[in-house]
Structure 1
Amino acid sequence: MRQQLEEEIFGTGQPGGGTGEPNRRAMQSFAALVVSLTVLVGGGFAAYHFIGPAIEKFVATDDYPGPGSGSVTFVVDEGASGSEIAAGLVKAGIIKSTSAFISASSATPDQAKAIQPGSYTMQKEMTAKDALAYLSDPTHRSVKRVTVREGLWASEIYPILSKASGIPVKDYQAAAKNTKALGLPAEAKGNVEGWLFPSTYEFDKKSTAADQLTTMVKQAVKVMTAEGIAKDKWEETLIMASIIEAEAGSSADRPKVSRVFWNRLDEPTGETAGFLQSDATVSYGAKRRAVAPTQAEIDDASNPYNTRAHKGLPPGPISNPGKDSIDAAVHPATGDWLYFVTVNPDTGETKFSTTFAQFLIDQNEFKAWCTANPKAKC
């Protein structure tokens, strides 16, 4: 009966043991008590009228009187089952038995379902009912929440994670080198760039730098799997998505920017001869954030990410793209554009063209913006 109750409330799993856990003989006595009372009284409401108080009295012997005292940190792990939570509470000395917690959960199933992963500062020797109510209240939950926006380099993400967690940047840098431990797919060729999926994360206080990077990599894989992208196309997709993320002036322009670059790749002997000519890739290789690269950076053929000097895609992603850019890489707009230029970086206004002559006209608008904004480092 206790196992059935656990499955109905929390789904699956067996309740754990621990200090104060009723022994097998006590549980057998409890089952016998329920059966005896059921036979004696019969079914329906009458049975509950007699059995209910008996059950409550039995469970009460396995519950602390409360209200509790002292302070103890309790962690609900991601994906923890109800039985695991109950067993952990017993082990921490917060509740007396798992049976009391499961009983409280059966009485208020909405509270049981509201428990979220995170750290909670609780008291020892609480009643199971109070412990459940405390865990179900999100205001009592303490997690490391950090937002990583789209388009950042891995080297820019580590300080953001470090500031939120207190873990040194060097720990993230070291963790990023152990790509096997992070679960980085072989397609990434040992480079985490592009695979640290941007989102808002809630990391447990005990999470390490490796734990956090692993979560981000898993999320990237999850998104690409949901997109239906073939595994042998994951790296290519992320490379293209990262360029789109860096180059698109607005979300609406992403599919059109994607089309421009795919058109260039699809025509290696055409007008653009297979050169992407992306300023963002040049700047990434030069490791300098700028609206546009310098002429010296453009002329630097030693930069493997210089797509003005080298045909095709760069050797790896140039940023960590979000879902919209991944969508755009997979589903480019329909069109024959070969050129585009963001004529106003402040507003993101971008103009697309099919000829180099029109591109030069559009580019003059961008140059005019640069002249009016000398601090923009054009």
Structure 2
Amino acid sequence: MSNDPTNNSPEAEQSYSPRRAARAARARAESDGWGTHIPGNQPASDEDAIPATSTLRAAEAALLTAATERAAEGVRKQAEAKVAIEQAAARRLAAEEKGRREYEAMQAKAAAAEQAKARSSAVAETRRKAAAEAEEKGRREYEAMQAREERARNRAEAETRRAEAEERGRREYEALRARQAAEKKSIAAAAAQRARDEAASAQSEATERIRRTLAAQRQRQYAYAHSPSDPLNTEPADSRQPFDAPEQTPTPAPPVATPSVVPPVPEHEEHDEADPWLEEPRQLEPPETETADAEIGGPWTQAVDGDLADEDIEPQHEHYDTQDWEADDYASHPALDFVEGERENVFLPGDPGTAAVARKKRRTRRNVIMLGVLGGFIVLVLVAVLFLQSVIDRLNPQDFEGPGGAPIAFEVKQGWGPLQIGASLQDQHIVASKKLFVEALNLVDADSKTIHPGKYELREEMPAVAAATILVTQGNEKVGYVAIKQNTRIGSVLKEINSATGITLPELEKLSTDPAAFGLPANLTNLEGFLHPGEYRFPLEADAKTVLALMVDATKKELKSEGITDPDEQYRVLKIASILQAEARPDEYAIVAGALENRLHPNNVETNGLLQVDSTVIYGLGRYTLQMTAKEKADASNPFNSYVHKGLPPTPIGSPGNSAIAAAVNPKPNGFYYWVTVNTNTGETKFAKTYAEHQVYQNQFRTWCAANTDVCK
């Protein structure tokens, strides 16, 4: 072990002391020659030895002092060394701590780096997946966009073709109508011409008959005038009709002496008018048998021969009036009056005034008869023309001008042909006639003129070509179609969608239990009440969400139109509306809604907040029949049992229509708490303010059910 005070070992620090340092100093002094006994150099006396001792002591003291100082210095250095050690230890500890912390930091950084790397890998993977999904989505959207564009192009092309077909059909139809109008005019003109020809022919025949009749009468007059018999015994001419032809031509007798009554001989005078029955004046050659002028001295010359009885008696005048007698074939003529006067004078001698009156009567009667015949013929012609016109109209009915009136939903049923479709269109006043519709089908420009079953939107009083074009062209564009009736429960609605679209029921049911996917509150159980009734059309490739969204959006739209935008209030309205749809007739919705509000009122003491409606109970039982047992009515496990649970049911009980929603929003204030349908066939409902009154009506319903057991099952 070393005693060196500079030794910094722990053992040196424990053994170091001043005394030990002094001894060490003396030892070194002795080694240096101080006080060392050298033989032969021993002092001579004690006095010589004293200085040496003093010196030695002084040296010892100096050494001791030096040793003390050195010891103190050593202690100081030791303390400093200790401090340095402590500081070094502290530094070492600090360095270790720092190293540890740095190591931990490095480990943390490494872990963080690993985590960051993992996160970055996860993010990268997520981003990769997102990019892949986005790419796939973009691809699908692009394909969908291309499909939409293709459908849009097809629709545009179809619309263009339809417009062109309509325009072409319209032009062809107008040309057809023009041809039909021209044909009708031609037919009418031909009919009118035939009528005029027939009238002219009949008029000519009547004129000829009249001419022959008058000629025969004049012949009879002349024959009677030259008859040997007494004219007074002869049948008067007035007793015969003016148009009657003689039954036989009288045989002339030989000339006799001058008759007892000689008619006055008219003077030869010029008449203002020619005989209307002659086309031109002519002169008859006197026959060889006999000359009448020799007997009567008159201006008339006629052979008394039966063969000439129907010939005209020609007046021998030098001048004739050339006026057009066709203007009035039945006008009076002086020559006729002269003949009449001759006959009167021959057969009825007497006052000339009486003969003039009789002549006027005959002329009037003749004119009346001829006018009657002509009028009857004209009426007959008019009736024939009207009949022909009606036949023409039936064969060529008038089409509607277009473009049409109010919209009409027209349905073509399976198996219908053009005639059935045309008849239905005619019955609904969409086209003027089925004949026009069948003709219009031939004018539609389409590759296939097949009309597919389905519903089409048409208009009242459309041109047949327009209706045919819509039915032919729109039917080629296939769409999905589903119709939902009012108050249909959600299960039945989903089955209808499945049947119409082929979308699987599990997919529809899963989506119907996620109202949040349609923007509805997430706390709703399902979409019951939000699947609005109505008709829906959608692309054939539409998915389940697209179809259901159409119905949900329709319900939202109806609620918004009624001013209901709060989600909770919307759900409340749908619950009440679904109960109205099941419990009442449409004309009583508002009254029943008022009664429901009375039952829901906090101060209700009649039912204490219970709705007590059968429709909610049977909904919870999953049935449709209105009958239930007392046990079912008291079953509290049924959450829809409104006889046990107060307030509205958990969900609506069906799909309410617009009228029920409107009544639920606007109930009619009243004092009723009870109602019962006493006749389910007619829907007659009785309302009551008290339970006693309600029991009377319930007994009426039981009585009706007893008489109609087939209904109340």
TM-score range, shorter chain: 0.5 to 0.7
Partners of 1:295 and 1:136 in 2: CA distance: 59
2:491 matches 1:155: yes
How do 1:295-334 residues align onto structure 2 when only pairs under 5 Å count? 295-334=630-669
Is 1:203 the counterpart of 2:538 in the alignment? yes
**Do structure 1's residue 237 and structure 2's residue 573 form an aligned pair?**
yes
* Higher helix proportion (structure 1 or 2): 2
Q: Secondary structure at the match of 2:636?
A: coil
* 2:550 is the alignment partner of 1:215: yes
Alignment check: 8 A CA contact 2:516 2:522 kept: no
Q: Does 1:292 align with 2:627?
A: yes
Cross-structure match for 2:514: 178
Identify which of 125, 131, 140 aligns with 2:476: 140
Code of the residue aligned with 2:487 in structure 1: it is: G
In structure 1, C-alpha distance between the alignment counterparts of 2:632 and 2:647, rounded to whole Å: 18
Q: CA-to-partner distance for each residue in 1:266-317, whole Å, 9 max, x for gaps?
A: 1444111111101111111111111233222101011111110011111111
Which 5+ residue runs of structure 2 have no aligned equivalent? 1-143, 169-445, 448-468
Q: Offset at 1:145?
A: 2.0
CA–CA distance in 2 between the matches of 1:110 and 1:327?
Answer: 44
Query: Which of the two has higher C-alpha Rg?
Result: 2
Taking the aligned partners of 1:200 and 1:336, their CA distance within structure 2 comes to 38
Q: How far is 1:209 from its partner? A: 2.2
User: 1:129-184: per-residue Cα shift (whole Å, max 9, x none)?
Assistant: xxxx9999323232222211111110111112222222232232122123333x14
Alpha-carbon shift at residue 110 of structure 1 (Å): 9.9
**1:104-119 → structure 2 map (5 Å cutoff):** none
Q: Distance in 2 between matches of 1:102 and 1:169?
A: 36
Assess, with a 3 A threshold, how the Cα gap between structure 1 residues 103 and 166 changes in structure 2: closer, same or farther.
closer
Q: Take 1:90 and 1:146, find their aligned partners in 2: how far apart are those partners?
A: 23
The residue number in structure 2 matching 1:277 is 612
Give the paired residue count.
271
1: CA distance, partners of 2:159 / 2:485: 40
Cα offset, 1:90, TM superposition: 9.0
Q: Deviations over 1:80-116 (max 9, x none)?
A: 9xx997x42698xx69xx9x999999999999xxxxx
**Letter of the structure 1 residue corresponding to residue 622 of structure 2:** K
Tell whether the 8 Å contact from 1:188 to 1:235 is kept in structure 2 after alignment.
Answer: no
Closer/same/farther in 2, CA of residues 110 and 334 from structure 1, 3 Å limit: farther
Structure with the largest fraction of strand: 1
Q: How does 1:1-378 map to 2 (within 5 A)?
A: 87-88=149-150, 137-181=473-517, 183-186=518-521, 189-232=524-567, 233-248=569-584, 250-377=585-712
Q: For structure 1, list consecutive stretches of 5 or more residues without a partner in the other structure.
A: 1-76, 112-121, 124-132
Q: 1:360/1:147 Cα in 2 relative to 1: closer, same or farther (>3 Å)?
A: same
Q: Distance in 2 between matches of 1:331 and 1:368?
A: 34
> Contact 2:158–2:473 at 8 Å: present in 1 too?
no
Q: Per the alignment, in what secondary structure is the counterpart of residue 475 of structure 2?
A: helix
Name 1:118's counterpart in structure 2. Answer: none
Q: How many angstroms apart in 1 are the aligned matches of 2:551 and 2:152? A: 32
Deviations 1:16-73 (A, max 9, x none): xxxxxxxxxxxxxxxxxxxxxxxxxxxxxxxxxxxxxxxxxxxxxxxxxxxxxxxxxx
2-side partners of 1:106 and 1:372: how far apart? 62
**1:226–1:337: structure 2 CA closer, same or farther, 3 Å change rule?**
same
Partners of 1:283 and 1:297 within 8 A in 2: no
Q: Is the 8 A contact 1:184 1:192 kept in 2?
A: no
Deviation of 1:262 (Å): 0.4
Q: Could you tell which deviates more after superposition, 202-211 or 296-305?
A: 202-211
| Distance in structure 2 (CA, Å) of the matches to 1:106 and 1:150 | 37
State the percentage of identical aligned residues.
32
Q: Contact 1:244–1:257 (CA<8 Å) still a contact in 2? A: yes
What is the Cα deviation at residue 368 of structure 1? 1.4
Aligned partner of 2:432 in structure 1 is none
Letter of the structure 1 residue corresponding to residue 583 of structure 2: E
Contact 2:514 2:526 in 1 (8 A): no
1 or 2 for the larger relative contact order (CA 8 Å, sep ≥6)? Answer: 1
Aligned equivalents of 1:101, 1:141: Cα separation in 2: 9
Q: TM-score, normalised by structure 2?
A: 0.35
Amino acid at match of 2:532: F
CA contact (8 A) 1:154 1:193 kept: yes
Q: Deviations along 1:292-343, whole A, 9 cap, x unmatched? A: 3322210101111111001111111111111111011011123111110001
2:631 aligned partner, one-letter code: A
Moved over 6 A (4+): 100-111, 133-136
Distance in 2 (CA, whole Å) between partners of 1:178 and 1:357 is 45
